[in-house]
Amino acid sequence: MTQEANDHAGKKGMDGEVDSASAIRQLNQLDLSATNLSSPSSTLRSRQKSSNPKPKPTEKDLMDLAQKLDMRIPEELKHLYLDALSSIHDAAETTMQEEDYYPRPDRELYPRSDIRFADEDELRRGWAWKADVVKNYSVAKARLKDDDSTAVDGSSSNKQQTNGKEQDGKVKEPPAVVSKDADEDVTGPHQTSRLPRSDVDADPSSLHPTANEATAPIDKKKSSSDGEDGKAIDNQRKAEGQGEKLLLEGKTVVLKDMIMLADVPCLFGSETGGEYISEMDATCVTRILDSGGHIKGKANCESWAIHWTSSSAPKAIIENPVAKGFSAGGSSSGCAALVGSGEIDMGIGGDQSGSIRVPAAHSGIVGMRPTYGLVPTTGVISIEAEKDIIGPMTRSVYDNALLLEAIAGPDWIDLRQADRPMPNPIPKYSSLLLKARERIDKEGLKGVKIGLLKEGFSAIGKDMNIETVVRQAADKFREMGATVVEVSCPSHFGLSQANTIVTTVGATGAMHGRAIGTKQLKLGGFWEGILPFNQERYSQLDHILKLEIISAEYVSRYFPTAYDRAINLLRKMSGEVDAILDEVDVLLMPTCVQPPPRNIKKEAGIEQLMKAGSSSSVNTNPFSATGHPSMSLPVGWSPPAEEDIHQDSDRDIRLPVGMLMVGAKYDEMTLLKLGDAWETRFGGYPIIEKGIGCKAHRQ
C-alpha cells in the first residue's frame, strides 16, 4: 500500500471511529499489484459502522417494496405497514451498531509479516497474497511457564472447557461417550472428543494432534522454496525442548483466497468492492499453526469460486503446473498450481461442486473433499451452506492424511454436519495410514470390494482416453487382491437437475444479503463492501455470475418451492449412495471425464469460457450434494482433447488424469488406505512421469 493510502487509512473522525467510507474509496482505487500490507490495517471492514445510516422508511419506500412483491396494501392500513417497517428498521439499525462477534486472533502467539499482493509472475503461478504466518514458540514457552494450564501445542492441559464458559474455575464436561481409541480405525457413528474453546479472544479450534515418529517420504519434483524456513522454525522449537514432533512441522501451507487470515486481504476471486481485510483467523488457520504448519499466504481462485477453468482469476490466468497453456482446474486453481509445481507443500481448498477435486485432477495432485461437516468452515466465505466445505490438497496421500488430521473435528461454531455423528475421537489418519500400509504390504487388498460406478463412466462427451486410463488404474486394485465390480446409481445423473437448483438458488442467497439457515459464523463484513447489488456492481461482475443470479431469481419467482423439493430429492440420492456403499467399500470413476482444456484468454468472451470445462463436475457434484467423502487421486496422463490439438506434436503433451474414489460418510480412512496403496505401487508425484499413460491418437 502506498504511504498516502496508509496515512489516509489511519485517519479517524472526531468520535474515534475509522473514516470507513473514505478508507474504502481509497482502497478501491489502489492498483493491487502495488499493495504491500506489512502491518495490521486500520481499515477492517468487518468492524465498521455505517457512516451513511438509512433514513426512516417513508410511504414511498413502502409502496416500492409492495410493487416489487406484487402486493396490494389497503389505504386504511398503510400506517400499520409503515409502523412495521419502522420497527424492523430500528432493529436492523441497532443490530448494525453492535460490534460483530467472532474469534479474535492472538497476534503475539501467531504473528504475521511480509503481507503483500503477488507480483505478475506470482499471480500466474497461483498466488494472490504473500504472507508469513507461523506460531511463535518462544511466546508459547513463556506462557507455559506463566500458566501451566495452556499447553505449548495449543491444547488445554489442566483446564477443561465447554462452550467457552467456566464455572468456579471448572467446566462442566460433556457427557462421557464410550468409544474406541483414535489409533484404531474408527469410522462408526460416534461423537467427537474435541472440546470447544471460547469464541472470544481465542480461536475456536480445540485439541491439536501431534505427528507420528514415522515419516512418509514424498517424491518431489522440487523442494519447497520455503523448506529451510520451516526447518529453522522446527529446530527452534526442538532446541527449546517443546515436546514431540508436531503434525505439520516443516510443511508450508497456502490457503484458498476465501479463507480468513487476519490482516491479509481477501478478494474471493473478484475485484468487486475492493479489498476486504479480515480481523479473524479461520478455525483451520489456527489448527494448522498449532500443528506446526507454516502459512505462506493465500492462493488465487476463480471468480467468486464458480469457474472450472483457471482463466477467470483476478489479474491473471493461472497456468497448469505440468503443462503451460492448459487449465489448472477451478475454482481452487491457485492451490492446485502451487502444490502441483512443488512450490508449496500443502493447500487448503474450498469445494462446493468439485472445486478441490477438479483442479487436483487437472494438476496431478491429491484432493480430498471430506465428509460434509467433518472440517469446520468457520472463517470461510460460504455461498451455499448445504454443500460448501474445505479440504486438503497435497502431492501425496500421506500428506493429505496429515493435513486432514490437523484440521478435522468440530469447533462448535460451525454446526454443519452429515446425517450421522462424527467418530469419537477423530481418527489419527496419518498413523492409521502407516499401519495400513504395513498390513497391505503383507496381505494385499484381500476382502476389499470396489464398485466401478456405471454412470460415472457414461457421461455425455466423455473422453475415451480418460476412461481407458481410469479403468486400467482400477485393474491395479485387482492385482493387489481387491474385488472390482460394476455398480449403478441412477440418481447420479437422474437427479442432476435437482442438484442444479440447489447450487444455483442456494449460492445466490448470500449475494443478495439473504444468507440464512445453517448455524455458522457469518462473514457479513465481507459482503458489506459489496451489497446491495445495483447496476454499477453488476457491471463489474462477469457474465457467468450474472447468469447464476438471474437464473436463481427466475426459479424463486416462478418455482418458489423448487429449492425445497430439490433438497429433499438430494437426501434421496444420499440414501441411494449409502445403500450402494453397504455393498462395496468405495465407488470409483474418473474425476473429470475430459482432460484439462487450454486456458481461455481474458478477451475471448463468455461463451468460450463457459464451454471450456463445462463437463468438469459431472462426477464430483453429485457427491457434494450427498455429503459423502471423495478423493481425487492422480493415476496417469492423457493427450489433450481433439479441439486442443493444434499441431501433430501436441499429441505428445501429457495432461494429468484423476481417479475419483467415494467412501461412506466419515470413512475417509478407507479412501486414504486405498489411495496410498495405489500411489506407493503404481503412481507418485509427478504423475505424468510415473502413472498410466495413454498415447492413443483419437479418431
Q: Which active-site residues does the annotation give?
A: 256, 331, 355
CA angle 7, 11, 16 (to 5 degrees): 155
Name residue, grid cell 440414501. 575
Cα separation values, 131 from 261, 298, 358, Å: 10, 8, 26
Return left, alpha or beta for 78; rule: phi > 0 is left, psi -120 to 50 is alpha, else beta: alpha
Round to the nearest angstrom and report the end-to-end CA distance of the chain. 54
Rounded to whole angstroms, the Cα distance separating 385 from 138 reads 39
**Regarding beta strands 449-453 and 586-590, do their DSSP bridges make them parallel or antiparallel, or are they unpaired?**
parallel
Rounded CA gap, 411 and 205, in Å?
6
Rounded CA-CA distance 593/354 in Å is: 13
Phi, psi of 82 (to 5 degrees): -65, -40
Q: Are strands 483-487 and 449-453 parallel, antiparallel or unpaired?
A: parallel
Could you give the residue ranges of the DSSP H alpha helices within 354-424? Answer: 357-363, 397-407
In our burial notation (b when 16+ CB lie closer than 10 A, e otherwise), range 570-592 reads beebbebbbebbeebbbbbbbbb
Cα distance between residue 553 and residue 596, in whole Å: 32
Task: Return d(Cα 448, Cα 675) in angstroms, integer.
Answer: 13
**Strand 36-37 versus strand 112-117 pairing type:** antiparallel
Q: Is 433 exposed, middle or buried (0-12, 13-18, 19+ CB in 10 A)?
A: buried
* Count of other CB atoms within 10 angstroms of residue 220: 14
